[in-house]
Structure formats: C-alpha cells, structure tokens
Structure 1
C-alpha cells in the first residue's frame, strides 16, 4: 500500500486516539470537570479530533481495506479504554466521588457503567461505518465487474 494513502488515515487516527486517551487520564479528566474553560477545551478537542478521523475514514478514493482497518482499530482502542474503566479495581476520577451516590451507585459502579457504555453501545457507529464502507466497496466492485 502506498504510504501516502495510509498516512492520510493514520495521522488522524493517532491524533484522535491520543486526544481520547489523554483526556481520560485521571488528572486531565478531573481538571476538565473542575474548570469550565478546560471542560470546553476537552469537548472541542475530542470533537475536532473525531471529525478529522471520520473525514479521513469516510473520504472517497481511499482503499476500503485501509478504511475498514482503521475503523476496527479505532473501535478496538476505544473498547480497550472502556474495558479498562469497566474492570478497574478502584475509582479513577475524583470528580465522580459523590455524584453517583445520588443515583444509588458507588463511584466504582458509575465508572464501570461509563466504561460499558464506551465499550458496547459506542461501538454501534463503528459497526455502521464498517458496514457502509464494505457495502459501498462491494457495490462498486460489482459495478466494475458487470
């Protein structure tokens, strides 16, 4: 595969992965929830990096194999983060030390629920994108072969 084509998806993938994981570091996450300006920096950087990634993946003219591989890789890294949150032996975020109690959850249960949401339902857009890329690629192959 030409390095140029893969790099066109790899750089946004690395950027979005780094941004997601960086903001889930306990110090960064707690700082963002303690400061309104930092909270919006977190939200906007997550959104911007996700838009860059999805624009690169969904752009036409790229290899469907590359596109599918990066969708799977993006889901895998987010799923891994979700799994780490789900199975962590102790709460990681001081910002959630008391709020979950109002819902009848311990901080660790709240964190595990957040991890499961990142891990399972958040995978739906990745599955939809993978099916769309595969279907579109298959349709184009059939059109060329006809």
Structure 2
C-alpha cells in the first residue's frame, strides 16, 4: 500500500466525513468573520484543528482497520476519541466560535435548541458527567457487549461516536474557560476532584485486563488479527493503554486546573491591591 492509501477510509461513513468537514468549515468561516480582538490566536487554532484531525484520523483512515482487528489499537483509538482529541478541542477554547454562530441564529432556531440546552445542562451535572464518562468505558469493554460491537457495523459506529461526544462533554466541563468566580462554571476544586475520581475506576479496569490470565476479548480470535502478534501481548498492551495514559491525562488535567486557579487568584489579588491600596 502507498502512504497516501493509509489516509483513505477503511469503512467510509458519509455522515462522519460530512460532520468533521462541517465543523472545520464553520470554524474557518467564523475565524474570518470574527473581530480581531475576539479571534483565537494561532496556538489555539492549531490545538483545535489538531484535536479534530486526530479524531477524524482514528475514525476515517486505515487506522480504523487496525482498530477493528487489534485490541491494543482499538484501545488507542478510544484513548484519542475519549481523551486526547476532546482535551485538545476543549483547551483550544472554541467558545468565541460557538457564540459567533449562536448569535446568528434567529429566535425560531433558539427555541429549537432549548430542549438540547436542557439535555446539555443535565449531562453536565458533575455526578452524571463523571458516571457517564467512566460508565461508557466499562459498558463498551464489557466482554459480551464488546463482542457484539466489534461484529456489528451499526454498534461499532455508535460506540465510537458515543465515546467522542461524551469525551467532548466531560473535558469541556473540566476545561471550561469561564471563571467560576464570575459565572456558573464548575469550581476548580470540584474539577480536580472529578479528575481524581474518574481516574481510579479506569486504572482498576486496565489492571484487570492486564492481569487477567485468560483471554477476555475473544472477538479478535474469531475475526483474526491484523498482525501476527500473540493474543496475550495484544491484550497486555490494550490493558496498559486503558490503565496508564488515562491516569496520566487526569494528572495533567489537575495540573492545568491548578495553574488556572493560581493564575486567577493572582489576578484577583492584584486587582484588590490596586483598588484598596497598600495595607497600612
């Protein structure tokens, strides 16, 4: 196969291609029309595009073929869809883009979006968001469900899209750029607590896969593996990808939130000093 052929979809999905093209298209148009003061900087633009392209790459290139026939590649696919891609998109802070397009919707469109807004607010409740975030990982890795999902095209796409959308919701809750001091955004302490709580069950699941003596996911035996790798090695690598990288991303998220909290505290302290003057 030529290098370019690896960029072609293994299982072409018009909805997936159109969805990603629409997201990048709307983002680009908004960038051109936003006032310079509101326009994201080059770093944020690159971060957003990288997050979107990573998610596209694991869903609509040859990578998707290997993820269907190697367990550890599949775990890498979900690591990007549920963690890395959404993290980059959330850190890029696309809020000005969203506000730009929302402001151009008419009253009728606003009324149509109200039910979605209600669903969004429910899903962004901290307890619901964290349970859903971890619960989806456990659900799709439950061996009978995983077996069916890897053999059913419809379930397979539902699995991947649910992981991506849930990842976007969770990491936006964590990295919401609005300050909790002047908005209804989740407090920094609660964000850190959520990151610590969701890391524990992921580590437990990954460790269970790593130390399981038998084959947990025999669907890869039924369909055959893309490479001549021992099944035990494939399962070991998949378990490690379920165990270690998500925990490291939670730690990284905690460090980012701590930095934001300290930076914001410093700004408020400076403002208070300027307003009240030096203490006597």
Consecutive unaligned residues in structure 1, runs of 5 or more: 1-6
Specify which of 34, 51, 69 is matched with residue 151 of structure 2. 34
Work out the CA distance in 1 between the residues paired with 2:245 and 2:228.
Answer: 21
Equivalent residues of 1:9, 1:57 under 8 A apart: no
RMSD, matched Cα: 1.8
Equivalent residues of 1:17, 1:77 under 8 A apart: yes
Q: Deviations over 1:66-115 (max 9, x none)?
A: 00011111222212111111111211112122427x4332x232111101
Q: Deviations over 1:36-78 (max 9, x none)?
A: 1110011111112222211222223221110001111122221
Specify which of 237, 252, 261 is matched with residue 137 of structure 1. 261
Work out the CA distance in 1 between the residues paired with 2:190 and 2:245.
Answer: 24
Specify which of 211, 220, 243 is matched with residue 119 of structure 1. 243
SS at match of 2:125: helix
Deviation at 1:120, TM superposition (A): 1.5
Consecutive unaligned residues in structure 2, runs of 5 or more: 1-123, 181-185, 271-280
Residue 168 of structure 2 corresponds to residue 43 of structure 1: no
Residue 133 of structure 2 corresponds to residue 16 of structure 1: yes
Equivalent residues of 1:19, 1:46 under 8 A apart: yes
| TM-score, normalised relative to structure 2 | 0.46
Residue 233 of structure 2 corresponds to residue 109 of structure 1: yes
Equivalent residues of 1:33, 1:95 under 8 A apart: yes
| TM-score, normalised relative to structure 1 | 0.85
Count matched residues: 138
Q: Give structure 1 regions of 4+ aligned residues with deviation exceeding 6 angstroms.
A: none
Deviation at 1:143, TM superposition (A): 1.9
SS at match of 1:99: coil
Work out the CA distance in 2 between the residues paired with 1:43 and 1:134.
Answer: 31
* Aligned twin of 2:183: none
Work out the CA distance in 2 between the residues paired with 1:95 and 1:65.
Answer: 42
Tell me: higher relative CO, structure 1 or 2? Use CA pairs within 8 A at least 6 residues apart. Answer: 1
Specify which of 225, 229, 239 is matched with residue 99 of structure 1. 225
Residue 203 of structure 2 corresponds to residue 86 of structure 1: no
Q: Cα 1:103–1:124, aligned 2, differ >3 Å: closer, same or farther? A: farther
Deviation at 1:31, TM superposition (A): 0.6
Q: Which of 1 and 2 has greater Rg?
A: 2
Specify which structure has the higher proportion of helix. 1
